Structure formats: C-alpha cells, structure tokens
Amino acid sequence: MAHSRREFLQLSSAAALGLAAYRLPQQYRIDGPTAPPLSDPTFKELAMRALDAAKSAGAEYADVRISQNRNQAIQAREHRVQNLTDSETFGFGVRVLVKGAWGFAASRDLSPDEMVRVARQAVAQAQANRAALERPVVLAPVTPTANGAWRGPAEIDPFDVPTEEKVALLLDANAAALKVAGAKFVNSGMCFLREEKTLAASDGTYVVQTIFRSQPQMTVTAVSPDFSDFQSRQSNDVQPMGRGYEHVRDAKMVDNATRWATEAVQKLAAKPVDVGRYDLVLHPTHLWLTIHESIAHPTELDRAMGYEANYAGTSFVAPPQKMLGQFRYGPELMNIQGDRNQPGSLSACGWDDEGVVPDTFMIIKKGIVNDYQTTREQAPWLDWWYKKQGIKPHSHGCSYAQSWEDIQFQRMPNVSLLPGEKEQSFEDLIAATDKGIAIVGEGSFSIDQQRYNAQFGGQLFYEIKGGKVVGMLKDVAYQMRTPEFWNSMDMIGGKKSYQLGGAFNDGKGQPSQSNAVSHGCVPARFKQINVINTGRKA
C-alpha cells in the first residue's frame, strides 16, 4: 500500500518507536562507526573462545566473523511512498579447515557457550565433508594483521539522516520530473548499507571494518499523446558508491529529475535505428556493465575451473593453462585491473573476509589474459603460473560473505578498464567517428552461461555522422561475441574521462549471496558492431 507524505510521517513515527524498543545486549553491541570496537575486549574474547574451541576439536585453521549489518531501502512513486524497509542482523560465523575439508556453522547468539558450541559444530561439519573430498584444500600464505581497523570514506552515516528527510527528497524529485510535459510515471528510491564486522583468524589476524554503501536512483517514463509508445530514462549517471549519505546529496536528484524526464520525452520522438553495423562510442555509464558481464564474471577462477556451473554458468576463459599469457582478449591498449582500494568504490575494504590485504593486479595486460580473481584456497591452483612469473602463489583478496550466517567464498573485486595514454574524452571519440552510435547508460541485456555471446541495450542513443551527433535514436541493442567485440576496440579515453559504475546487488553461489562491486572505465570506441532494432515487429 502506498502512502502520502502525511500518512508516511505518522506511520514512520510509530515504526521508529518500535525500532527503538529493540536493542542488542549492551555487552554485545557495536555502537556505530565512531565507536572503537578494538578497545572493547568483548568481541575479541568471544572470537578467541571460538578459535580455541575449534583448534581443540581438531581444526588446523579457523576464522570467526562477527558482523552487524543494517540495510534500508525506500521507494516512492509519483507523490506517494510505496515501500520502506529497515532491517538489522547481528551474529557470527565460524569456518574451519579439518584435514583439507571446510566446515561452517553460524549463530545469532553471541554468548561464550554458544561460541564454543558453534565452533565444535563447524569442526563436525568439516569432518563429515571429508567423505566427499576430491582433493585437500591448501591455503596460500597470508601476512596476519594483529590489530587492524578500516572505515569506508563516509562523511555522513546514512542511518543518522532522518527517514523523513530522505522521503521528502524523493517526493520532491518525483514532483520535479512530473512537471515535464509528457512525463507520466516516476519511480525513485534510495538504498543504504552499513556493515560492521570483526574478523579473527587462527593465524593471528584480528581486524575490524565498517563499510558503507549508498544508491540513489530514479526512473522516469514518458508516454506519447496517443498512447502508442512509452520510453523510460533511468538515472544511470548517478551510480551506487561506497560512500555515505553525502553521495545522495551530491546526486542532486531534484535538479537532475527535470533533465531525466526531458530525455525520456525526447526518446518518444527519436528515430528508430536501422539495423546494420556501426562504430559504437560507449560512455562509461554504459560500458561498466559490459565489462561486468563479459570480463569480470568470466575471469572469476571458480567459474573458469567449473565450480560455479549450476547457478550462473562457467567461463569461456578456460582452462587457465591455455589462457594465461596466451589468449588475446583485446588490443594492446586494453588493460583490465582488479583491486579493492579505489576510493568510493563498492568493493573497497581494508581486508577481505580471510584477512588478506587486497592487492592491485592486472587481469588483462596489453590485451592478453594475465590473471584471475582468487582467494587463499584458489591461489595454489595457479601455482605453475605464478612460479613462471617468479612470484609466490598469493590471494588477491577476493573472499567475501554477505552476512555472518553465510560462508565466505570468491567474489568479484573492482574490475576496471584503465585509461589510455592519450587524453581523450567521450566527445573526442564521437568527433573521430564517421558513422556510428553513441550510447549512454546501461539497459537490459542477456548473456550466455559462458559469457561469450551477449546482447546489450542502453538508455540514450545518439546517431553520429561525420563526427557529429545528428539526432537521437531508439530501439537500439548491439550483439557481440566477447573476444571479437573487445578486439574491435580501437580508441579509449584518457584519465580525465575515467568514471566508476557499479552493481549494488550481484548474485552468485548456492545458496545465493549478494555482493556489491564497482567497475571503473573510460569511454571507448568499437568498430563495426552489429546493431539490431528491438522495437521492430516480426
């Protein structure tokens, strides 16, 4: 049921009283990002108790994650609030390694006795899992961090901002969009996460982190006067970030709503695209998703090794023995970097969920496959490759679990297309193109299980003739085979054109878990790509 602003304020006041009535036991609470959890011995004592119990029960390795996650999502449509969710979860998980087999157990009861019970349960689980063990798990070494703390670059904690202020901003933005003639529907929303977690491992690591994520968003739909067509514009130029509420304020949703609505209306009068081959000039707000689906996913090592087949497919970048140092993914100007340290990126952290300080590594170097995304368990699988490079097998810090009740496994870091040496902008690439289409913003897409054949849409499409934009197009989608597509890239932007895009909820695993990841990139041009008309009737 949707509510007006007045109704919402009445309901939210009552809800606030209900939330205030729920409190975690004081001795087990993390009171916020300004609190010094390392100075509170409670968490460390509890974690050490679990580690001791696991080791005593036979574990050769164990780690404990204690985390408190708070999520909030607000959705509004036109002049009413449609939905508000505000949830918090708090608990711990224990992972152990027993004679090469993993075991995991979790609980929301942070009591000393429960810590011991859960640790022993994890060991029992590992012992049972040995019956199905094909090869023992071997962990790559890690340099432990005895007492570490990291906090994401949030200037304003989103949960310190009154819900009423957030709702007022959404409704004001909706009202601004609806003032544009032809704009008939508008949906807006905000999503926030604050994740506070403590990790203790039997190898000597003890670290505490606070991670923030924020995503403001809007979709405006315009309808033609005769109701024969409708077109939408999403706010893709405002991407989710690993920042606080200042990201929402910087997005200036009220000011931008008019432009987004105007562009939705303009799409109604746009010329349907003629099918054929075009040079595509892709803006970073669009290209990040193509990178995510056609580069970041297929270079996850568990996919390449066949361990992710059931949920979301494997990878054409396999087997590693035939790919690393040999397979040409793209031209020499193509360099793809993995990292978890870009300021404001969704995957940024001080340590991954195995206590590894993530490094910066080249997944594709001068167009050639150079590495995969790895965890401590996966790095030894590429021992032969790392020895060939003269380096020791090591995790790139790609281990993550969405919550205390989920076991950590390999998740995507930031995967980014690095800028070229020449300083070129999106407009410069358009000026250098004789016949093409410029695409802004991500849209619908489809891709096969191995990330080899795909089709991508977008938000805004502009026809290019003689180096100039001559009008707007609609019903545009391009088809691609991944290596052919990336090898057609002949121009990229420079450092000043680099932007971060990203996904707030990227699913993987069974049971499924959600991860947030950013993809930095520059504008790029791709030669003679097949374009279809998605509006053409059969």
Q: What is the mean pLDDT of residues 303-319?
A: 91
| CA angle centred on 165, ends 164 and 170, rounded to 5° | 95
Q: What is the mean pLDDT of residues 93-110?
A: 97
Distance, in Å, from the CA atom of 417 to the CA atom of 420, rounded to the nearest integer, reads 9
Bridge partners (DSSP) listed for residue 423: none
Q: What is the mean pLDDT of residues 308-326?
A: 92
DSSP assignment string, 110-151: --HHHHHHHHHHHHHHHHHHGGG-SS---PPP----SSEEEE
Tell whether the model's pLDDT for residue 36 goes beyond 60. no
Distance, in Å, from the CA atom of 219 to the CA atom of 446, rounded to the nearest integer, reads 21
- Give which of 217, 219, 220 is closest to 184, Cα–Cα: 220
pLDDT value of position 312: 77
pLDDT value of position 2: 54
Strands of 202-270 (E only): list them. Answer: 206-223, 230-234
Tracing tokens 């709702």 back to the chain, one arrives at: 167
Cβ atoms < 10 Å from Cβ of 148: 17
Q: Summarize pLDDT for 199-234 with one digit per residue, the tens.
A: 999 999 999 999 999 999 999 999 999 999 999 999
Q: Summarize pLDDT for 516-529 with one digit per residue, the tens.
A: 999 999 999 999 99
Distance, in Å, from the CA atom of 61 to the CA atom of 38, rounded to the nearest integer, reads 23
Q: Which two tokens stand for residue 103?
A: 């075991």
Tell whether the model's pLDDT for residue 15 goes beyond 80. no
Rounded to a whole number of angstroms, the CA Rg of the chain reads 25
Distance, in Å, from the CA atom of 315 to the CA atom of 307, rounded to the nearest integer, reads 10
Strands 435-447 and 276-282, how do they pair? parallel
Query: pLDDT class for 37, splitting at 50, 70, 90?
Result: very low
- Give which of 279, 287, 336 is closest to 490, Cα–Cα: 279
Distance, in Å, from the CA atom of 389 to the CA atom of 381, rounded to the nearest integer, reads 15
pLDDT value of position 398: 98
Q: Which two tokens stand for residue 48?
A: 């050490």
Tell whether the model's pLDDT for residue 491 goes beyond 60. yes
pLDDT value of position 27: 36
pLDDT value of position 536: 66
Q: In this structure, are residues 232 and 457 in contact, taking their beta carbons and an 8 Å threshold?
A: no
Q: What is the mean pLDDT of residues 323-346?
A: 97
Of 54-58, 117-121, 314-318, 532-536, which gets the smallest average pLDDT?
A: 532-536
Tell whether the model's pLDDT for residue 141 goes beyond 50. yes
Residues in Cβ contact with 111 at an 8 Å cutoff, skipping those fewer than 6 apart: none
Q: Summarize pLDDT for 278-287 with one digit per residue, the tens.
A: 999 999 999 9
Cβ atoms < 10 Å from Cβ of 106: 19
Q: Please report, in angstroms and rounded to a whole number, the separation of the first and last CA atoms in the chain.
A: 39
Q: Which two tokens stand for residue 216?
A: 């403001």
Query: pLDDT class for 24, splitting at 50, 70, 90?
Result: very low
Query: pLDDT class for 537, splitting at 50, 70, 90?
Result: low
Residues in Cβ contact with 429 at an 8 Å cutoff, skipping those fewer than 6 apart: 281, 491, 493, 523, 524, 525
Distance, in Å, from the CA atom of 195 to the CA atom of 406, rounded to the nearest integer, reads 14
Q: What is the mean pLDDT of residues 304-315?
A: 88
Bridge partners (DSSP) listed for residue 182: none
Q: Mean pLDDT over all residues of the chain?
A: 92
- Give which of 507, 529, 520 is closest to 435, Cα–Cα: 529
Query: pLDDT class for 183, splitting at 50, 70, 90?
Result: very high
Instruction: Report the percentage of the chain scoring pLDDT > 90.
Output: 89
pLDDT value of position 510: 86
Task: Let me know how long the chain is.
Answer: 538
Pairwise pLDDT comparison (9 vs 511), residue with the higher score = 511
Residues in Cβ contact with 143 at an 8 Å cutoff, skipping those fewer than 6 apart: 357
DSSP assignment string, 44-87: HHHHHHHHHHHHHTT-SEEEEEEEEEEEEEEEEETTEEEEEEEE
Tell whether the model's pLDDT for residue 31 goes beyond 50. no
pLDDT value of position 4: 52
Q: What is the mean pLDDT of residues 364-392?
A: 96
Q: What is the mean pLDDT of residues 242-252?
A: 97
Query: pLDDT class for 7, splitting at 50, 70, 90?
Result: low
For residue 351, what is the DSSP state?
S
Strands 468-474 and 489-492, how do they pair? unpaired
Q: How many CA atoms lie within 13 A of 196 on its CB side?
A: 18
pLDDT value of position 34: 40
| CA angle centred on 502, ends 499 and 505, rounded to 5° | 170
Q: In this structure, are residues 253 and 235 in contact, taking their beta carbons and an 8 Å threshold?
A: yes
Phi first, then psi: give them for residue 250, nearest 5 degrees: -70, -25
| Cis peptide bond prior to 319, omega within 30° of 0 | yes
Burial class (CB in 10 A: 0-12, 13-18, 19+), 249: middle
Quick one: CA dihedral 147, 152, 155, 160, positive or negative? negative
Query: pLDDT class for 148, splitting at 50, 70, 90?
Result: very high
- Please name the amino acid found at residue 305: M
| Cis peptide bond prior to 523, omega within 30° of 0 | no
Q: What is the mean pLDDT of residues 479-497?
A: 98
